[in-house]
């Protein structure tokens, strides 16, 4: 998805790269922290495993597509030609 729609280019001025780093760490780190919350005790194991899979799949999608897309939209990064 990232290669087809975003084409995030990693180079740029040092301050843009630093700002992208900080924003990315805050967004992804917050999502990781929230994903590590303990599931309710009454949740069956199969449902817990399924919800954990969905949470971490969304985390991977966020880190590889959504955050680079946000950087391009905020003009903190350029798109490859």
Task: Identify the pLDDT of residue 21.
Answer: 95
Q: How far apart are CA 45 and CA 73, in angstroms?
A: 40
The span from the CA of 62 to the CA of 68, in Å, is 9
What local confidence, expressed as pLDDT, does residue 45 receive? 84
Report the pLDDT value the prediction gives residue 38, as an integer from 0 to 100.
66
Q: Provide the greatest CA pair distance for the chain.
A: 51
Predicted pLDDT of residue 4: 86
Q: Give the orientation angle of helix 14-35 with respect to helix 45-61, to 10 degrees.
A: 170
Walk along the chain (81 residues) in steps of 10 and give the mean pLDDT of each run.
Answer: 87 92 92 75 83 89 92 90 80
What's the full length of the chain, in residues? 81
Domain ranges in the chain? 2-79
């Amino acid at each position: 998805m990232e290669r087809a729609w975003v084409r995030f280019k990693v180079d740029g001025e040092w301050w843009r790269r630093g700002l992208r780093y900080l924003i990315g760490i805050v967004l992804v780190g917050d999502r990781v922290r929230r994903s590590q919350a303990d599931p309710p005790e009454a949740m069956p194991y199969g449902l817990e495993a399924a919800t954990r899979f969905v949470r971490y799949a969304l985390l991977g999608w966020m880190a590889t597509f959504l955050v680079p897309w946000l950087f391009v939209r905020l003009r903190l990064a350029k798109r490859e030609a």
